[in-house]
Amino acid sequence: MKNFLFFIDSLSTWTGKAFAWLIMVLTLGVSYEVLVRYAFRAPTTWAFDFSYINYGAMFLMAGAYTLSRGGHVRADVVYRFLKPRTQASVDLILYVIFFLPAVAALIYSGWKYAATSIRFKEVSIFSPAGIPIFPLKTLIPVTGVLLLLQGAAEIIRCIICIREGSWPQRLHDVEETESVIIREKQQEQLLHDPSKGG
């Protein structure tokens, strides 16, 4: 079961980090627009569309990654003082009542929305450049599926915590632990053989 959870976490992490590179693309595109607009008085026709498409894609595809890291906003004034079993019970109820129906609606509506957009090869109505926006709309159901997978992993974690009384490790916890172990081993080697220190 741990391997399945880590696989879902790694899929969410890979997707989130891959799409995070869009911030560089967005920065370069906006910088170019500012340069040509103010230095050369020649604004582009695509800057607005370019900005919201890149930001929208990045925002959509970061959802599962953020969920895998426990990074979504939560009102935890009371929650953090609860025992792990109680936390897991609360989370499980909220996932079943709110999260799963919302994600199912996102997948269902997003699929219809994206299919219509693809069928018409939809382009932006905000600029004369005719930027295609159907690829962005295609990300809506993809986001839903990734959120559903990560949500399933979170539900499994809740069930494990209710059974065992403690939260199972997350992938980033394991990665951090491995880094600490490697660092400790390197320090031990330096203590035993100082010549390896360079």
Q: What is the pLDDT of residue 189?
A: 79
* Segment (H or E) for 165: none
Residue holding tokens 């996102």? 106
Mean pLDDT of 155-176: 87
Within a domain: 180: no
Within a domain: 24: yes
Within a domain: 176: no
pLDDT at 1 over 80: yes
Print the domain residue range for 115: 2-167
Q: Are 111 and 141 in contact (CB under 8 A)?
A: yes
Within a domain: 146: yes
Within a domain: 155: yes
Within a domain: 27: yes
pLDDT in tens, 51-109: 999 999 999 999 999 999 988 888 788 998 999 999 999 999 999 999 999 999 999 99
Within a domain: 181: no
Q: What is the pLDDT of residue 146?
A: 98
Q: Are 153 and 5 in contact (CB under 8 A)?
A: yes
Q: What does the alpha-carbon distance between residue 52 and residue 128 come to, in Å, rounded to a whole number?
A: 16
Quote the pTM value. 0.83
Per the prediction, the chain carries an average pLDDT of 91
Q: What is the largest CA-CA distance in the chain?
A: 69
